[in-house]
Protein backbone atom coordinates (compact mmCIF):
# COMPACT_ATOMS: atom_id res chain seq x y z
CA UNK A 1 0.00 0.00 0.00
CA UNK A 2 1.35 3.44 -0.99
CA UNK A 3 1.12 6.15 1.69
CA UNK A 4 2.81 8.99 -0.21
CA UNK A 5 3.30 10.26 -3.74
CA UNK A 6 7.02 10.27 -4.60
CA UNK A 7 7.98 13.02 -7.01
CA UNK A 8 9.76 11.79 -10.15
CA UNK A 9 13.00 13.76 -10.45
CA UNK A 10 15.02 13.98 -13.64
CA UNK A 11 18.70 13.40 -13.05
CA UNK A 12 20.88 16.48 -13.31
CA UNK A 13 22.63 16.67 -16.71
CA UNK A 14 26.02 17.43 -15.18
CA UNK A 15 26.07 15.73 -11.77
CA UNK A 16 28.37 16.68 -8.92
CA UNK A 17 31.39 14.52 -8.09
CA UNK A 18 34.47 14.90 -5.91
CA UNK A 19 36.28 16.88 -8.58
CA UNK A 20 33.47 19.45 -8.63
CA UNK A 21 33.71 22.81 -6.90
CA UNK A 22 30.34 24.05 -5.69
CA UNK A 23 29.22 27.54 -4.71
CA UNK A 24 25.86 27.55 -2.89
CA UNK A 25 23.93 30.82 -2.84
CA UNK A 26 20.59 31.86 -1.41
CA UNK A 27 18.25 31.10 1.46
CA UNK A 28 18.79 29.18 4.68
CA UNK A 29 17.89 25.99 2.81
CA UNK A 30 21.02 26.56 0.69
CA UNK A 31 22.87 26.38 4.01
CA UNK A 32 21.11 23.09 4.87
CA UNK A 33 22.30 21.49 1.62
CA UNK A 34 25.75 23.05 1.93
CA UNK A 35 26.13 21.50 5.38
CA UNK A 36 25.41 18.10 3.85
CA UNK A 37 27.94 18.70 1.10
CA UNK A 38 30.46 19.79 3.72
CA UNK A 39 29.76 16.73 5.87
CA UNK A 40 30.50 14.45 2.94
CA UNK A 41 33.62 16.48 2.11
CA UNK A 42 32.67 17.91 -1.26
CA UNK A 43 34.49 21.06 -2.31
CA UNK A 44 31.73 23.46 -1.34
CA UNK A 45 31.46 27.12 -0.39
CA UNK A 46 28.26 28.77 0.79
CA UNK A 47 26.90 32.31 0.93
CA UNK A 48 30.08 34.37 1.41
CA UNK A 49 27.87 37.41 2.17
CA UNK A 50 25.46 35.49 4.37
CA UNK A 51 21.97 34.18 3.72
CA UNK A 52 20.20 36.04 0.91
CA UNK A 53 16.53 35.30 0.21
CA UNK A 54 15.51 37.17 -2.93
CA UNK A 55 16.75 36.91 -6.55
CA UNK A 56 17.50 40.62 -7.02
CA UNK A 57 19.86 40.79 -4.03
CA UNK A 58 21.68 37.66 -5.20
CA UNK A 59 22.03 39.25 -8.63
CA UNK A 60 23.45 42.47 -7.15
CA UNK A 61 26.08 40.65 -5.06
CA UNK A 62 27.16 38.47 -7.99
CA UNK A 63 27.48 41.61 -10.09
CA UNK A 64 29.63 43.28 -7.44
CA UNK A 65 31.80 40.17 -7.06
CA UNK A 66 32.31 39.63 -10.80
CA UNK A 67 33.20 43.29 -11.44
CA UNK A 68 34.93 43.74 -8.07
CA UNK A 69 32.80 46.77 -7.38
CA UNK A 70 33.82 47.32 -3.78
CA UNK A 71 31.69 48.80 -1.03
CA UNK A 72 32.39 52.37 0.07
CA UNK A 73 31.38 54.36 3.14
CA UNK A 74 28.23 55.39 1.25
CA UNK A 75 27.09 51.75 1.22
CA UNK A 76 27.17 51.22 4.99
CA UNK A 77 25.31 52.77 7.93
CA UNK A 78 25.32 52.76 11.74
CA UNK A 79 22.32 51.39 13.64
CA UNK A 80 21.89 49.78 17.07
CA UNK A 81 25.62 50.01 17.89
CA UNK A 82 26.71 48.21 14.70
CA UNK A 83 27.74 49.06 11.18
CA UNK A 84 25.53 47.39 8.58
CA UNK A 85 25.12 47.09 4.82
CA UNK A 86 21.70 46.66 3.24
CA UNK A 87 23.15 44.30 0.62
CA UNK A 88 24.48 41.64 3.03
CA UNK A 89 23.31 39.60 6.00
CA UNK A 90 23.43 41.00 9.53
CA UNK A 91 25.84 38.23 10.63
CA UNK A 92 28.57 40.29 8.95
CA UNK A 93 27.75 43.51 10.80
CA UNK A 94 30.50 44.93 13.00
CA UNK A 95 30.90 47.64 15.67
CA UNK A 96 34.07 48.92 13.98
CA UNK A 97 33.48 50.86 10.74
CA UNK A 98 36.92 50.30 9.19
CA UNK A 99 37.03 46.61 10.07
CA UNK A 100 33.51 46.13 8.69
CA UNK A 101 34.28 47.80 5.37
CA UNK A 102 37.60 45.99 4.99
CA UNK A 103 36.04 42.62 5.81
CA UNK A 104 33.27 43.14 3.25
CA UNK A 105 35.68 44.09 0.51
CA UNK A 106 38.06 41.27 1.35
CA UNK A 107 35.18 38.94 0.58
CA UNK A 108 35.03 40.19 -3.00
CA UNK A 109 38.44 38.78 -3.88
CA UNK A 110 37.45 35.44 -2.38
CA UNK A 111 34.00 35.41 -4.02
CA UNK A 112 35.39 36.44 -7.40
CA UNK A 113 37.83 33.53 -7.20
CA UNK A 114 35.05 31.13 -6.17
CA UNK A 115 32.87 32.26 -9.06
CA UNK A 116 35.75 31.84 -11.49
CA UNK A 117 36.73 28.37 -10.26
CA UNK A 118 33.43 26.72 -9.33
CA UNK A 119 32.02 24.05 -11.62
CA UNK A 120 28.52 24.05 -10.12
CA UNK A 121 26.34 26.81 -8.72
CA UNK A 122 23.51 25.71 -6.41
CA UNK A 123 21.10 28.66 -6.17
CA UNK A 124 18.14 28.53 -3.78
CA UNK A 125 15.54 31.29 -3.96
CA UNK A 126 13.50 31.83 -0.80
CA UNK A 127 10.98 34.56 -1.51
CA UNK A 128 9.75 36.98 -4.16
CA UNK A 129 8.73 39.51 -1.49
CA UNK A 130 11.27 42.30 -1.13
CA UNK A 131 11.72 45.53 0.80
CA UNK A 132 12.72 48.73 -0.97
CA UNK A 133 14.55 51.48 0.90
CA UNK A 134 12.57 54.69 0.44
CA UNK A 135 15.66 56.89 0.67
CA UNK A 136 17.78 55.06 -1.94
CA UNK A 137 14.91 53.41 -3.86
CA UNK A 138 16.97 50.19 -3.80
CA UNK A 139 15.83 46.68 -2.91
CA UNK A 140 17.61 45.49 0.22
CA UNK A 141 18.78 42.00 1.16
CA UNK A 142 18.31 42.62 4.89
CA UNK A 143 16.51 45.38 6.81
CA UNK A 144 18.77 45.02 9.89
CA UNK A 145 15.85 45.91 12.19
CA UNK A 146 15.66 49.42 10.78
CA UNK A 147 12.10 50.76 11.37
CA UNK A 148 9.69 49.39 8.77
CA UNK A 149 8.43 52.88 7.89
CA UNK A 150 11.70 53.39 5.98
CA UNK A 151 10.78 50.65 3.48
CA UNK A 152 8.05 49.74 1.06
CA UNK A 153 7.17 46.09 0.55
CA UNK A 154 6.58 44.67 -2.91
CA UNK A 155 6.28 41.39 -4.75
CA UNK A 156 8.77 40.82 -7.56
CA UNK A 157 7.03 40.08 -10.84
CA UNK A 158 7.78 36.87 -12.71
CA UNK A 159 9.49 38.99 -15.38
CA UNK A 160 11.74 40.76 -12.84
CA UNK A 161 12.77 37.42 -11.32
CA UNK A 162 13.53 36.09 -14.81
CA UNK A 163 15.73 39.11 -15.45
CA UNK A 164 17.56 38.66 -12.14
CA UNK A 165 18.13 34.97 -12.87
CA UNK A 166 19.29 35.62 -16.44
CA UNK A 167 21.64 38.37 -15.28
CA UNK A 168 23.05 36.20 -12.47
CA UNK A 169 23.82 33.38 -14.90
CA UNK A 170 25.26 35.66 -17.58
CA UNK A 171 27.47 37.48 -15.07
CA UNK A 172 28.88 34.19 -13.83
CA UNK A 173 29.40 32.99 -17.41
CA UNK A 174 31.48 36.06 -18.26
CA UNK A 175 34.24 34.75 -15.99
CA UNK A 176 33.28 31.06 -15.97
CA UNK A 177 31.76 29.97 -19.32
CA UNK A 178 31.61 26.29 -18.33
CA UNK A 179 29.63 26.85 -15.13
CA UNK A 180 26.71 24.50 -14.43
CA UNK A 181 23.62 25.60 -12.52
CA UNK A 182 21.24 23.77 -10.20
CA UNK A 183 18.24 25.83 -9.16
CA UNK A 184 15.78 25.15 -6.38
CA UNK A 185 13.06 26.87 -4.37
CA UNK A 186 13.39 26.88 -0.60
CA UNK A 187 10.78 24.75 1.20
CA UNK A 188 10.81 27.19 4.13
CA UNK A 189 7.38 28.79 4.60
CA UNK A 190 7.60 32.60 4.81
CA UNK A 191 4.38 32.91 6.80
CA UNK A 192 5.31 36.37 8.09
CA UNK A 193 4.27 37.53 4.61
CA UNK A 194 0.91 35.76 5.01
CA UNK A 195 -0.29 32.29 4.08
CA UNK A 196 -1.69 33.23 0.68
CA UNK A 197 1.19 35.63 0.09
CA UNK A 198 3.75 32.87 0.76
CA UNK A 199 2.19 30.68 -1.94
CA UNK A 200 1.94 33.68 -4.26
CA UNK A 201 5.65 34.32 -3.76
CA UNK A 202 6.67 30.70 -4.36
CA UNK A 203 4.48 30.61 -7.49
CA UNK A 204 6.31 33.63 -8.94
CA UNK A 205 9.68 32.03 -8.24
CA UNK A 206 8.68 28.70 -9.78
CA UNK A 207 7.11 30.33 -12.84
CA UNK A 208 10.19 32.49 -13.41
CA UNK A 209 12.62 29.58 -13.24
CA UNK A 210 10.60 27.36 -15.54
CA UNK A 211 9.94 30.07 -18.12
CA UNK A 212 13.45 31.48 -18.31
CA UNK A 213 14.95 31.05 -21.76
CA UNK A 214 18.57 30.02 -21.33
CA UNK A 215 20.50 27.08 -22.73
CA UNK A 216 21.90 26.41 -19.26
CA UNK A 217 18.41 26.02 -17.77
CA UNK A 218 16.51 22.85 -18.60
CA UNK A 219 14.41 20.44 -16.58
CA UNK A 220 17.69 18.72 -15.84
CA UNK A 221 18.84 21.72 -13.81
CA UNK A 222 15.91 22.13 -11.44
CA UNK A 223 15.77 20.26 -8.15
CA UNK A 224 12.26 20.25 -6.61
CA UNK A 225 13.04 20.69 -2.92
CA UNK A 226 9.91 22.83 -2.39
CA UNK A 227 7.73 20.30 -4.17
CA UNK A 228 9.19 17.41 -2.16
CA UNK A 229 8.32 19.22 1.07
CA UNK A 230 4.81 20.11 -0.09
CA UNK A 231 3.84 16.80 -1.73
CA UNK A 232 6.01 13.99 -0.38
CA UNK A 233 6.41 15.28 3.18
CA UNK A 234 3.02 16.94 3.58
CA UNK A 235 2.86 16.53 7.33
CA UNK A 236 3.76 18.81 10.25
CA UNK A 237 5.95 16.08 11.75
CA UNK A 238 8.52 17.07 9.12
CA UNK A 239 8.70 20.66 10.37
CA UNK A 240 10.80 22.19 13.12
CA UNK A 241 9.14 23.64 16.22
CA UNK A 242 8.37 26.90 14.43
CA UNK A 243 6.29 24.92 11.88
CA UNK A 244 8.03 26.89 9.13
CA UNK A 245 11.43 25.28 8.57
CA UNK A 246 12.02 21.65 7.57
CA UNK A 247 13.28 19.63 10.52
CA UNK A 248 16.36 17.42 10.38
CA UNK A 249 14.35 14.41 9.23
CA UNK A 250 12.99 16.38 6.28
CA UNK A 251 16.43 17.80 5.44
CA UNK A 252 17.89 14.30 5.51
CA UNK A 253 15.14 13.04 3.20
CA UNK A 254 15.50 15.90 0.71
CA UNK A 255 19.26 15.37 0.76
CA UNK A 256 18.68 11.69 -0.06
CA UNK A 257 16.62 12.68 -3.11
CA UNK A 258 19.32 15.21 -4.08
CA UNK A 259 21.99 12.54 -3.73
CA UNK A 260 20.03 10.18 -5.99
CA UNK A 261 19.64 12.72 -8.78
CA UNK A 262 22.41 15.34 -8.51
CA UNK A 263 25.43 13.36 -7.29
CA UNK A 264 27.40 11.31 -9.81
CA UNK A 265 26.99 7.55 -9.46
CA UNK A 266 30.79 7.25 -9.51
CA UNK A 267 30.99 9.47 -6.41
CA UNK A 268 28.56 7.44 -4.30
CA UNK A 269 31.08 4.81 -3.06
CA UNK A 270 33.37 7.62 -1.90
CA UNK A 271 30.42 9.37 -0.26
CA UNK A 272 29.55 6.18 1.65
CA UNK A 273 33.18 5.77 2.68
CA UNK A 274 33.26 9.31 4.05
CA UNK A 275 29.94 8.76 5.79
CA UNK A 276 31.47 5.77 7.58
CA UNK A 277 34.49 7.85 8.64
CA UNK A 278 32.27 10.66 9.91
CA UNK A 279 30.17 8.21 11.94
CA UNK A 280 33.35 6.80 13.46
CA UNK A 281 34.60 10.29 14.30
CA UNK A 282 31.33 10.99 16.11
CA UNK A 283 31.65 7.80 18.15
CA UNK A 284 32.09 8.43 21.88
CA UNK A 285 33.72 5.48 23.71
CA UNK A 286 32.95 4.49 27.29
CA UNK A 287 36.68 4.17 27.93
CA UNK A 288 38.89 6.27 25.61
CA UNK A 289 42.04 4.65 27.03
CA UNK A 290 41.01 1.06 26.40
CA UNK A 291 43.06 -1.14 24.09
CA UNK A 292 40.07 -1.78 21.84
CA UNK A 293 39.46 1.93 21.36
CA UNK A 294 43.12 2.56 20.57
CA UNK A 295 42.96 -0.12 17.86
CA UNK A 296 39.76 1.52 16.60
CA UNK A 297 41.59 4.87 16.33
CA UNK A 298 44.50 3.32 14.43
CA UNK A 299 42.13 1.78 11.87
CA UNK A 300 40.22 5.04 11.60
CA UNK A 301 43.41 7.02 11.05
CA UNK A 302 44.40 4.64 8.25
CA UNK A 303 41.03 5.15 6.55
CA UNK A 304 41.45 8.91 6.81
CA UNK A 305 45.03 8.79 5.50
CA UNK A 306 44.04 6.59 2.57
CA UNK A 307 41.17 8.81 1.46
CA UNK A 308 43.20 12.02 1.92
CA UNK A 309 45.89 10.61 -0.35
CA UNK A 310 43.23 10.18 -3.05
CA UNK A 311 41.57 13.53 -2.29
CA UNK A 312 44.16 15.90 -0.74
CA UNK A 313 41.62 18.71 -0.28
CA UNK A 314 39.74 16.70 2.35
CA UNK A 315 40.38 17.51 6.00
CA UNK A 316 39.29 15.49 9.04
CA UNK A 317 39.74 16.15 12.73
CA UNK A 318 40.49 12.96 14.64
Q: Read off the CATH number of the domain in which 194 is found.
A: 3.40.50
Burial class (CB in 10 A: 0-12, 13-18, 19+), 149: exposed
pTM for the whole thing? 0.93
Asked whether residue 277 is domain-assigned, the answer is: no
Asked whether residue 257 is domain-assigned, the answer is: yes
Asked whether residue 179 is domain-assigned, the answer is: yes
Domain count, the chain: 1
Asked whether residue 61 is domain-assigned, the answer is: yes
Tens digit of pLDDT at every position of the chain (318 positions): 777 788 999 899 899 999 999 999 999 989 999 999 999 999 999 999 999 999 999 999 999 999 999 999 999 999 999 999 999 999 999 999 999 999 999 998 899 999 999 999 999 999 999 999 999 999 999 999 999 999 999 999 999 999 999 999 999 999 999 999 999 999 999 999 999 999 999 999 999 999 876 555 554 589 999 999 999 998 999 999 999 999 999 999 999 999 999 999 999 999 999 999 999 999 887 888 888 888 899 999 999 999 999 999 999 987
Dihedral of CA atoms 97, 102, 104, 108 in degrees, nearest 10, equals 160
CA 248, CA 254: separation in Å to the nearest integer?
A: 10
CA 173, CA 178: separation in Å to the nearest integer?
A: 7
Asked whether residue 63 is domain-assigned, the answer is: yes
Burial class (CB in 10 A: 0-12, 13-18, 19+), 104: buried
List all residues 6 or more positions away from 275 whose beta carbon is below 8 Å from its beta carbon: 40
List all residues 6 or more positions away from 81 whose beta carbon is below 8 Å from its beta carbon: 95
CA 135, CA 308: separation in Å to the nearest integer?
A: 53
Asked whether residue 314 is domain-assigned, the answer is: no
- β-pairing verdict for 43-46 and 21-26: parallel
Q: How many residues does the chain have?
A: 318
Which residue from 20, 66, 56 is spatially nearest to 40, judged by alpha carbons? 20
- Expressed as residue numbers, the domain containing 53 is 21-265
Asked whether residue 199 is domain-assigned, the answer is: yes
Asked whether residue 280 is domain-assigned, the answer is: no
Amino acid sequence: MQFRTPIPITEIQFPIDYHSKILSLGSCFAVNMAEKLEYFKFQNSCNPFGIIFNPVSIEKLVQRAVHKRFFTEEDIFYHNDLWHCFEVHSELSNPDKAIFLDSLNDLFDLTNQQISESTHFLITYGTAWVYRNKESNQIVANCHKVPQKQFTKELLSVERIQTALQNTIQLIQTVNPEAKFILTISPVRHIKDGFVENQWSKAHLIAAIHSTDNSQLTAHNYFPSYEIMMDELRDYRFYAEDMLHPNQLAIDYIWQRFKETAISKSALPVLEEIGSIQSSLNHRPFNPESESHQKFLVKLQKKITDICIRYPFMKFEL
